[in-house]
Amino acid sequence: MWLVVGLGNPGRQYAEHRHNVGFMVIDALAAKVEADAFRDKFSGEMSRCELRGDDAILFKPQTYMNLSGDAVQPCAAFFKIPKERVIVIHDELDIPFGDVRLKKGGGHGGHNGLRSIIGRMGADFGRLRMGIGRPPASFKGDVADFVLSSYTAEEREKLPKIVETGAQSVLSIAARGFDAAMKQRNTRPKKKPKPKKPLPDEASQDATEAETTED
């Protein structure tokens, strides 16, 4: 069994914030796999579903971000789900907007939701990191203000595809295992080398040879 946790803050006023992208991915995944209706359980909203033939719990803590562990740990304990079968989906400042990365274990990086979960159950769980990037120079406010702000109009246009990538990443983990999915998701495609431009004398020589051939 898998426990897939999306982090966010409860309440309509937070629904469109960058800090709530974990909730967005969970909702998209639930729709994709036709999960059961969410119900209140373990200080969160919980749904049961099947991911690639394996039972799974989809979970959205309703404790507010800095107390996420108070909901996640009891849920994992009740279903006896080991940490290596827990996936936490969260916003990530240190990854550019639009990038989606997987990570196993590690610190909290200042993220209060991760900090709370680590404090309650340790750090050895999987993370699906949804990049939101750092605040631009033009942003008026600190980092906390930035994560608790809405996406720009340009970002909102791209967001559905990014959220879909997050949902597909969870399905890839369920199908292939975390390590294989992480290798695939985190490997950047190699850029094709640009064709070399001919040097000026080479270009002139080519033109001269072309004229000679035509004669």
Q: How far apart are CA 189 and CA 84, in angstroms?
A: 27
Q: What is the DSSP string of 4-22?
A: EEE----SGGGTTBGGGHH
51: tokens are 């991911």
- 108 given a catalytic annotation: no
User: Directed axis angle between helix 112-121 and helix 69-78, to 10°?
Assistant: 40
**First-to-final CA distance of the chain:** 77
Contacts of 151 (CB under 8 A, 6+ apart): 16, 18, 159
Would you tell me the crossing angle of helices 178-186 and 153-176 to the nearest 10 degrees? Answer: 140
Give the 3-state DSSP-derived string for 125-186, with helices as H, strands as E and coil as C: CEEEEEECCCCCCCCCCCHHHHHCCECCHHHHHHHHHHHHHHHHHHHHHHHHCHHHHHHHHH
Active-site position among 19, 90, 108, 111? 19
The single residue listed with the structure tokens 């969970």 is 26
Pairing of strands 39-41, 44-51: antiparallel
The catalytic residue positions are: 19
